[in-house]
């Protein structure tokens, strides 16, 4: 991002953001509610258009892409949300399979039958997140932490190169939060994913990423390796 700015009417949600994330880096976006974390992540996924400045993702300048090119680029980016966004009435396995929908050709509406190799991949991802035995349960029977692990498995169906996570543990209890954060990190390291994960809890952020980027009122006020960083140093961004 170079000089990235985003206005919503009078409000500057992001101002002059300059940020370069290297492949394979695990970066935490830290900031209070309203600091611009979601807006920044949405720009990376091409869901918002900047009011000023530039953004390139995986080597492509987003402003230069056609709709089709943008869709292709987005298929290389997984996104995990605070509220999981599963379909509660579908099975866990079906939810994971929806992660492959964008890549499937065929009718956009109506019943979809998934190729067998996709089912095998989905079960593999469920195994990876420790939920193979829940594959045929309804998604809404799972705990929050389990649902977020399903959402991670769903994101993996895209074989993403980049994983965006927007406060993935904000609605989880401390123990499930730890589990989910550890899982994201392990998977990222296994698969060489580039991760941008927003958080508002300093304690979770400190032990976790390679680097912390702090946002305040839409401005980057901290950008530093996590190693050796103290809580007091981070608290200064608030």
User: What are the residues binding ligand ADP (CB under 6 A)?
Assistant: 8, 11, 13, 31, 33-39
**CA–CA separation, 226 and 205 (whole Å):** 8
Q: Which does residue 8 bind out of ligand ADP, Mg ion, none, counting CB within 5 to 8 angstroms by kind?
A: ligand ADP
Q: How far is the CB of 125 from ligand ADP (least distance, A)?
A: 27
Nearer to ligand ADP, 14 or 92 (CB): 14
Binding of Mg ion at residue 39 (CB under 5 A)?
Answer: no
**To the nearest whole angstrom, how small is the minimum distance from the Cβ of residue 90 to ligand ADP?**
28
Q: Which is nearer to ligand ADP, 8 or 238 (CB)?
A: 8
Give, for 97, the enclosing helix (H) or strand (E).
Answer: helix 92-98
Q: Which of 194, 209, 192, 191 is nearest to 163 (CA)?
A: 194
Q: What's phi and psi for 10, nearest 5 deg?
A: -80, -20
User: Across-strand partners of 151?
Assistant: none
Return the number of the residue (35 or 177) whose C-beta is nearest ligand ADP.
35
Strand pairing report for 2-8 and 60-61: unpaired
Nearer Cβ to ligand ADP (37/154)? 37
The single residue among 15, 35, 38, 176 that binds Mg ion, judged by CB under 5 A, is: 38
CB-nearest residue to Mg ion: 38
Long-range contact pairs involving 103-107 (C-beta distance under 8 Å, separation at least 24): 103/75, 103/158
């Amino acid at each position: 991002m170079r000089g990235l700015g985003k206005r919503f009417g009078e409000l500057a949600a992001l101002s002059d953001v300059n940020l370069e994330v290297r492949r394979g880096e695990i970066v935490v976006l830290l900031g209070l509610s309203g600091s611009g974390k979601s807006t920044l992540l949405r720009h990376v996924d091409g869901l918002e258009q900047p009011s000023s400045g530039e953004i390139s993702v995986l080597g492509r300048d987003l402003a230069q892409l056609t709709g089709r090119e943008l869709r292709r680029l987005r298929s290389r980016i997984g996104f995990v949300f605070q509220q999981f966004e599963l379909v509660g009435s579908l099975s866990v396995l079906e939810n994971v399979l929806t992660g492959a929908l964008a890549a499937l050709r065929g009718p956009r509406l109506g019943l979809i039958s998934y190729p067998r190799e996709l089912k095998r991949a989905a079960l593999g991802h469920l195994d990876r997140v420790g939920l193979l035995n829940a594959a045929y349960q309804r998604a809404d029977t799972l705990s929050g932490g389990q649902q977020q692990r399903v959402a991670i498995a769903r994101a993996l169906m895209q074989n993403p190169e980049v994983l965006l996570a927007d406060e993935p543990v904000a609605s989880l209890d401390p123990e499930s939060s730890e589990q989910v954060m550890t899982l994201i990190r392990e998977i990222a390291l296994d698969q060489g994913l580039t991760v941008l994960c927003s958080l508002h809890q300093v304690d979770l952020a400190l032990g976790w990423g390679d680097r912390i980027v702090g946002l305040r009122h839409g401005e980057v006020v901290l950008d530093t390796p996590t190693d050796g960083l103290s809580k007091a140093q981070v608290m200064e961004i608030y």
